[in-house]
């Protein structure tokens, strides 16, 4: 689900005709943070 959201954001930015490197960077950073959070939660449980 997280990956799909990330790819959708990138696809939308491409459709608008203005690929923004900052947007890609933010998406991947957010995805990494979420993944780290989820892995930490898994180990806590």
pTM: 0.39
**Arithmetic mean of pLDDT, 5-15:** 51
CB of 30 within 8 A of CB of 37? no
Question: Would you state the pLDDT for residue 38?
Answer: 79
CB of 37 within 8 A of CB of 19? no
24-44 pLDDT tens trace: 778 888 888 888 887 777 666
The domain of 15 spans 2-44
Question: Would you state the pLDDT for residue 17?
Answer: 55
Question: Would you state the pLDDT for residue 1?
Answer: 45
| Total tally of structural domains belonging to the chain | 1
More confident residue, 39 or 10: 39
């Amino acid at each position: 689900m997280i990956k799909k959201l990330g790819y959708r954001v990138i696809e939308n930015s491409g459709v608008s005709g203005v690929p923004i490197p900052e947007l890609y960077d933010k998406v991947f950073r957010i995805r990494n943070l979420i993944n780290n959070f989820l892995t930490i939660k898994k180990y806590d449980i």
